[in-house]
A = this chain, B = another copy of it.
């Protein structure tokens, strides 16, 4: 493998000149530039970026910490991050933690060992078991919840949930079930808060029996739907905390002979691509996943460049999308 020294020898110029020819060609005479190029081509020289990074003490790499990359929402956020990172000349290291705190630690330590310059964390912040934010580690929390410390990008989960539930109420629903995420998940907490606000705004009493705990995966939505159908006083609508559970719930209700939306209105959260193509199409909250990724990356690069950003908590707009899965109760 040819090194810069080989190019120097071949071209009869010093390594310093070669280096400059590569980084700031306008500061090298055209004649010499041509000689450098010729030598590079002849030797098929490729600069050793590892050496460059070492020398410059910067990896130009960020790590994206993600609980599970096979979750479409996260994948979209990452896509947004990638777009911005490439524009800035950064690489993104994938930190699929598979929900293991051990793996998460390893990835965090990558910035301590210079392998990465900063971190974007897609795992919602939870008091107590959070590795980030951490002193000396530049990070952004993407898709966070209320009261997340440090730099964050998110939508207003409380408000969005409230809006969904108030819409159901406006249709005439009074008994509205919830398929939640795990009870201690911060998104669950925020979205439940919005649900309660909506009820209280319209003087509907909160009934804890109407909250069925899921885990954001399909299966739990199906199972929760069955739970509802076994209730003595079945609700007329169900607010699901993500689209996956909502789609599975629609199936669960359909299987038990309930028509959606005639017998049961169902709403989701996220607006995955499939939600406008399933049957019936899903009323849901559209999260700007790619935008969240882009904004997070932009914020991280601001932080990385040393400027203190004016705003460190970005609350992005969401959209409430009404489709076929909701209607007035019979």
- CB-CB under 8 A from A247, the residues of chain B are 274, 277-278
- Interface flag for A312 (CB, 8 Å): no
Neighbouring B residues of A113 by C-beta, 8 Å: 46-50
Closest to A74 in B: B75
* Residues A279 and B277 in contact, CB atoms below 8 Å apart: no
Binds B, one of A51-59, A169-177, A186-194, A198-206: A51-59
Taking the closest CB of chain B, its distance from the CB of A174, in whole angstroms, is: 27
Question: What 0/1 pattern do residues 90 to 129 of A give for CB contact below 8 A with B?
Answer: 0111101010000100100110111100000000000000
**Chain A contact residues, majority secondary structure:** helix
List, in ascending order, chain B residues with CB within 8 A of A57's CB.
50
Copies of this chain per assembly: 2
A179 CB within 8 Å of chain B: no
| Interface residue A17 (Cβ < 8 Å from any Cβ of B) | no
- Say if the beta carbon of A29 comes within 8 Å of chain B: no
Of A78-86, A139-147, A228-236, the one with at least 4 CB within 8 A of chain B: A78-86
Interface residues on A, range: 35 or more
Q: Name the CB-closest residue of B to A59.
A: B50
Q: By the criterion CB–CB under 8 Å, are A94 and B114 in contact?
A: no
Q: A79 contacts B72, CB within 8 Å?
A: no
| Chain B CB within 8 A of A251 CB | yes
Render A269-285 as a binary contact track against B, CB cut-off 8 A, 1 for contact. 00001101111010000
Is A222 among interface residues, defined by CB-CB distance under 8 A?
yes
Check B75 against A115 for contact (C-beta < 8 Å).
no
A70 CB within 8 Å of chain B: yes
8 A-B contacts, Cβ less than 8 Å apart?
A48-B54, A50-B54, A70-B76, A72-B75, A83-B98, A92-B94, A218-B274, A250-B279
Interface residues of A (CB under 8 A from B): 46-51, 53-54, 57, 59, 61, 64, 68-72, 75-76, 78-79, 82-83, 86, 91-94, 96, 98, 103, 106, 109-110, 112-115, 218, 221-222, 244, 247-248, 250-251, 254, 273-274, 276-279, 281, 290
Given A50-B53, A274-B278, 4 new contacts (CB under 8 A): A50-B54, A68-B79, A78-B96, A279-B279
